Chain A
Amino acid sequence: MTRDDAASAAVQWALIGKEPHGWGYEVLECSDGLFQREDFAEMNQRYSPGTPEELPQVTVARAASGENAHLTLAIEEESTTRDAGGRDVVVTRLYAVPYARLAARAVSYEALYRACAPLALPVPGRATPVIGLPAPDVSPFVGRIDDTVVQTAALLLTGAPVQIVGAGGLPLDERLRFLDTVAAMLPYGIRTKFSASTWTSSTAQHQIRLSFTRHPRDSAHTVEWGRPAAIPQQAELARAYRQLISQYHDAELLELMAAETAERGFRPPDLRDLLAVLRRGKGQLQLPAALPAPGTSTAALLLECADALDGTGDLEDATARLAQATSGVPGDADPHHWEIISGRRMLAPRAGIPAKRLRPLYKLLVPLACGRHIRIGQVKTIEAVAGGLHQPLLDALYELRAQAEAEAQLYLGQRIGGGVLRNVLNGLGDAVLVEVALRTEDWTTADTVHQALVRRGSSGQGAELAGALRRGAFLAPVFARFLDTSPPDQRSRLAELLRAAYGKGPLGRSEAEEALSGRPDLVTPALLGAVLALYDGPDARDVLVDGYLTPLLANAGLGEDTGPRILARIAPPPPAPAPPEPATMPQWVPGTPPPPVPQKPPPRPRGGIVSRARRRLPGGGPRPDEGGAQQNGPPPEPRFSDTAGILILFGVIVIVIVVYLVLLVLPQFASP
């Protein structure tokens, strides 16, 4: 059971700058954790505020999502370093803190800045230092909410970026505080989709939602500092928001927003949901809930419940009072509460008490034990402490599944079985399932996922499934872990998943490469075997080099000098020059443009980058380089007779056009 101190969080970090004689910006050093060098490089570039004018500047953004969601803070500063061309080097300190920790205490951006700024980088040993998180407190924001803040917050709800101009003289602290206040006016959870900067270059092609800048750009809403203007008529959600918040006291609104920690973004459904929260919030606050008698702590109420379970006192009554005391958003797990729950064996089966009395109590106890997220490890601890997942406990856990991580949901589904498991599986996307399998310590869970994915493949849900499987190396490491004694077993399971992703029949060349290049570092011999067994093209060796070895080496971090050199050595030769035209081609009329040459296969794409680029191809049309069939099957018969006719006709037309153009141009040369 996790019992970390809720008032602290581990910080991952990266230091971005230039090597002493380098030219380009790069991640110089970074912590060793969930995020790796490339992740930091990407965060740094995705939320780059552009070429800075003055330093320091602060940019807040986000990284990853779901359980891995983090908020990031980048501090750009001057340095004494010069690059190879003698240019000043800007150093960026990038920090990433788990969202869940920050959300639990509604930590403000400014507090995050105060906590991270003193952390000097690099931290020796690539360690992740721990920062203290202040207790939740909205009071600093009360009184900072003026019309500019309100207008800015409302404009953000249009989904378009917002820029603040005319605040050039404002110090960094105050600009950051302003951004922070605007964010505090919106549900805390939007921070998982939010980014803001104390300064962006007005000509930068940046992705930052809210920032101070010098000149307004066309692509964003503009707020003039201290001169709030109207919200555009058509921005209905924004107007509704402003209308609704006018009914709230500042502190009331800020607290309501701080408690809305579920991840959300700026899409219309998210925004409608926000309006609903604001409406509901007002309704609730008008009828204050009856609070438990003052002085009755959750711990005391827990003890009452424990007594009632043991036969002294009214269980129903005690449960109701506990429910009131803990109503609302689940808080953090408190080790003291857990001591009572486990010490008094509150989750153990009680023969004399009907399930319908136990279930409501368990639904309160589990969040007290686990906090707002129920993790698989916690479910197992509960199982051990309770002496098994007996029916009312299982039911309660299942009813709380919305708060449970995917693997915990699967585990519960397996325990209940039948339709429930199917239900759970239906609720989980391919990528999530793949991730669960990669992480799980249970073979049953991994096996369940495997079977589910194979089923999905046979019911024809190809492309997304293929992507998810590729990014998880088709679960190769999972099978290697659990079926280590039986490589043939591994191979046949992998073959099943390859078919699920790419359909029956042999693999095409690019499919084979794709299958290996998604996560070359996770590829196992069994996966190599399975792919090569299914691939029946001629150049299996190239598949291995382009699909596996090249991306493997490219991602191996072999150093910026050595890496590319090694890659160049195994790179395929550049594509051959256009083949001579087949002798059967009809002659084209001289003086006309040559007839279209039959499309030759394009330069061979390499590695995972390309497959990503492919995913971005617009439309769902046939992907031109999915050359499996083309390359393996016989080429289509060219229909020369038709083509020749068309070409001659085309030639004649072109000649007519050329003659016309010559006539058109001649007089010009004649004129002086």
Chain B
Amino acid sequence: MQPTGRVKENPGMEPERGAPPAEHNIAMWGPPGSGKTTFLAALTIAMNRRQDGWKVVGANGPSTDALIKLTASLATQRRFPAATRGTERYRWYLIGAARERRRSLLRRRAPEDVRIGLDLLDPSGELFNQEHSGYAGAHGELIDNLVNSRGIVFLFDPVREFEDGDAFDYLHGVLSQLAHRMLDSPEFAGGRLPHYLAVCVTKFDEIRVLETAEKLRLVTSDVADPLGFPKVEPEDAQELFRTLCEVSATGNAEMVHNTLAQYFRPERVRYFVTSAIGFYVDPLIGAYDRDDYQNLLPEAESSRAVRIRGTVHPINVVEPLLWLGQSLAADRRGRSAR
């Protein structure tokens, strides 16, 4: 319970205090419909499929409940989560199998961090666009949130970009305000933001995305993958992202790529090609079928609503969060060691 007598007006009303300190604030960034919430909803399933000991658990009642509901929606009901209103905030832990401590010649090493706290912000996408979000209030809060976060999952939805071409509108305004707010921070060195940025191309399972990747000859398949999913090697992800930016409806997306490069330190940016639901896996074949891989179904004949066709096999959903969590944990250790 909050100490009594707090008097701050609205903006001060929110921040949830009293949380265990070792959490890393990570914000989801992307226009409405780019797949932010679905991405988070797929996390449990993705962890589960990896079978490498990592799992995700809620850090408090509301967050645990949200995790269960989101997971159930994808895995059991095979439906996409509802469109987000306002800003949702989930506090989850990524918990990895404990690793042995090693000793080194000069110094005993600190124990490996196997629990990564994530404080995830999932804002409804319209907040990133000033034209749609009222000027002050909610928008200012979004910037506050971004200032306080150190990791960003930036979702780029190529399908939407191909149709609407507005990713840049959802990027540049908020980004320049974020930079402006951080000018005074010692972390804002060399004109670059201190954030770690995971750029995620979403909806890799969509025909148009996969085909583009194929045309660029960026698709490989991993012999070790029992499902035989097509895959873009991590080092090619940036190339795919850049090309997808170039085919945007307005041509503005080219600026998305450049703007990100301008504002973030190159060594703190990574690119991922992702899909929250993955390709369709026919239960009889048990593997990817290049003639029938679409994992979406229209809900009914005339309806625009879609549902998920088969089982969910998330692609590159754990990786960005794990990378962010580990980078931030390493950063923090570095800082406290100094």
Chain A positions within 8 Å of B3 at CB level: 234
Say if the beta carbon of A542 comes within 8 Å of chain B. Answer: no
Say if the beta carbon of B19 comes within 8 Å of chain A. Answer: yes
Closest to B124 in A: A25
Known A38-B135, A602-B191; contact A668-B102, beta-carbon cutoff 8 A: yes
Minimum CB–CB distance for B146 against chain A, Å: 11
Minimum CB–CB distance for A240 against chain B, Å: 12
Known A49-B86, A238-B4, A668-B104; contact A574-B258, beta-carbon cutoff 8 A: yes
Say if the beta carbon of B136 comes within 8 Å of chain A. Answer: yes
- Contact at A234–B63, with CB atoms within 8 Å? no
Say if the beta carbon of A356 comes within 8 Å of chain B. Answer: no
Chain A positions within 8 Å of B112 at CB level: none
Chain A positions within 8 Å of B303 at CB level: 82, 86
- Contact at B133–A45, with CB atoms within 8 Å? yes
Say if the beta carbon of B29 comes within 8 Å of chain A. Answer: no
Minimum CB–CB distance for A211 against chain B, Å: 12
A38 to B145, CA, bound (A): 22
Q: Which of chain B's residues 152-198 have a Cβ closer than 8 Å to chain A?
A: 160, 164, 166, 168-169, 173, 176-177, 179-181, 183-184, 189-191
Say if the beta carbon of A597 comes within 8 Å of chain B. Answer: yes
- Contact at B83–A83, with CB atoms within 8 Å? yes
A354 to B306, CA, bound (A): 84
Known A24-B129, A205-B121; contact A82-B4, beta-carbon cutoff 8 A: no
Known A24-B31, A215-B65, A219-B15; contact A664-B86, beta-carbon cutoff 8 A: no
- Contact at B105–A202, with CB atoms within 8 Å? no
- Contact at B88–A87, with CB atoms within 8 Å? no
A234 to B258, CA, bound (A): 54
- Contact at A50–B86, with CB atoms within 8 Å? yes
Q: Which of chain B's residues 10-45 have a Cβ closer than 8 Å to chain A?
A: 10, 13-19, 31-33
A216 to B65, CA, bound (A): 11
Known A39-B134, A88-B83, A602-B191; contact A219-B4, beta-carbon cutoff 8 A: no
Closest to B177 in A: A613
Contact of A216 among B6, B8, B61 (CB under 8 A): B61
Contact of B88 among A50, A238, A602 (CB under 8 A): A50
- Contact at B107–A45, with CB atoms within 8 Å? no
Chain B positions within 8 Å of A40 at CB level: 134
Chain B positions within 8 Å of A665 at CB level: 104
- Contact at A204–B18, with CB atoms within 8 Å? no
- Contact at A24–B138, with CB atoms within 8 Å? no
Say if the beta carbon of A160 comes within 8 Å of chain B. Answer: yes
A667 to B104, CA, bound (A): 6
Contact of A41 among B80, B134, B189 (CB under 8 A): B134
A321 to B130, CA, bound (A): 59
Say if the beta carbon of B220 comes within 8 Å of chain A. Answer: no
Interface of B is mostly: loop
A604 to B176, CA, bound (A): 8
Chain A positions within 8 Å of B9 at CB level: 193, 265
Say if the beta carbon of A85 comes within 8 Å of chain B. Answer: yes
- Contact at B85–A52, with CB atoms within 8 Å? yes
Chain A positions within 8 Å of B53 at CB level: none
A220 to B60, CA, bound (A): 14
- Contact at A88–B33, with CB atoms within 8 Å? no
Which segment of A128-136, A390-398, A617-625 sits at the interface? A617-625
Minimum CB–CB distance for B148 against chain A, Å: 12
Say if the beta carbon of A23 comes within 8 Å of chain B. Answer: yes
- Contact at A42–B138, with CB atoms within 8 Å? yes
Known A26-B126, A46-B138; contact A87-B83, beta-carbon cutoff 8 A: yes
- Contact at A41–B85, with CB atoms within 8 Å? no
- Contact at A46–B255, with CB atoms within 8 Å? no
- Contact at B137–A610, with CB atoms within 8 Å? no
- Contact at B134–A85, with CB atoms within 8 Å? no
Minimum CB–CB distance for A632 against chain B, Å: 19
A218 to B168, CA, bound (A): 36
Chain A positions within 8 Å of B129 at CB level: 24
Minimum CB–CB distance for A46 against chain B, Å: 4
- Contact at B176–A603, with CB atoms within 8 Å? yes
Q: Which of chain A's residues 546-593 have a Cβ closer than 8 Å to chain B?
A: 554, 560, 563-565, 568, 574-575, 578
Say if the beta carbon of B106 comes within 8 Å of chain A. Answer: yes
- Contact at A602–B6, with CB atoms within 8 Å? no
Instruction: Mark interface residues in B279-310 (1 if CB within 8 Å of A CB, else 0).
Output: 00000000000000000001100011110000
A603 to B182, CA, bound (A): 12
Closest to A16 in B: B85
Say if the beta carbon of A114 comes within 8 Å of chain B. Answer: no
A84 to B160, CA, bound (A): 9
Closest to B87 in A: A205
Known A46-B137, A82-B303; contact A564-B83, beta-carbon cutoff 8 A: no
Contact of A268 among B7, B133, B262 (CB under 8 A): B7
- Contact at B127–A203, with CB atoms within 8 Å? no
Instruction: Mark interface residues in A6-38 (1 if CB within 8 Å of B CB, else 0).
Output: 000000000000000001111000000000001
Contact of A88 among B14, B82, B137, B181 (CB under 8 A): B82
Known A45-B86, A45-B133, A51-B85; contact A87-B80, beta-carbon cutoff 8 A: yes
Closest to A560 in B: B131
Known A218-B17, A600-B191; contact A203-B88, beta-carbon cutoff 8 A: yes
Chain B positions within 8 Å of A349 at CB level: none
Chain A positions within 8 Å of B66 at CB level: 202-203
Minimum CB–CB distance for B258 against chain A, Å: 7
Of listed A25, A193, A216, residue having the most chain B CB within 10 A: A25
- Contact at B180–A625, with CB atoms within 8 Å? yes
Closest to A165 in B: B61
Chain B positions within 8 Å of A23 at CB level: 31-33, 125, 160, 164
Say if the beta carbon of A445 comes within 8 Å of chain B. Answer: no
Known A24-B132, A207-B13, A609-B135; contact A667-B105, beta-carbon cutoff 8 A: yes
Minimum CB–CB distance for B102 against chain A, Å: 6
Contact of B299 among A42, A46, A86, A204 (CB under 8 A): A86
Minimum CB–CB distance for B122 against chain A, Å: 9
Give B contacts to A, CB under 8 Å: 1-10, 13-19, 31-33, 60-63, 65-66, 80, 82-90, 102, 104-107, 121, 124-127, 129-141, 143-145, 160, 164, 166, 168-169, 173, 176-177, 179-181, 183-184, 189-191, 250, 252, 255, 258-259, 262, 298-299, 303-306
Q: List 12 A-B contacts (CB under 8 A).
A: A39-B134, A51-B88, A85-B33, A86-B304, A87-B33, A205-B88, A217-B60, A568-B252, A605-B176, A610-B177, A663-B106, A664-B107
Q: For the complex of A and B, list the 6 residue pairs with the smallest distance between their C-beta atoms, beginning with the closest.
A: A42-B134, A48-B86, A45-B138, A202-B62, A24-B126, A24-B32
Give A contacts to B, CB under 8 Å: 23-26, 38-46, 48-52, 82-90, 158-161, 193, 201-207, 209, 214-222, 232, 234-235, 237-238, 265-268, 554, 560, 563-565, 568, 574-575, 578, 596-597, 599-600, 602-603, 605-606, 608-610, 612-614, 616-617, 621, 624-625, 660, 663-665, 667-668, 671
**A24-B129, A219-B2, A597-B190 given. 16 additional CB < 8 A pairs?**
A25-B32, A26-B132, A45-B139, A159-B5, A201-B85, A202-B62, A204-B86, A204-B87, A219-B14, A266-B7, A554-B130, A568-B168, A575-B262, A578-B191, A609-B130, A665-B104
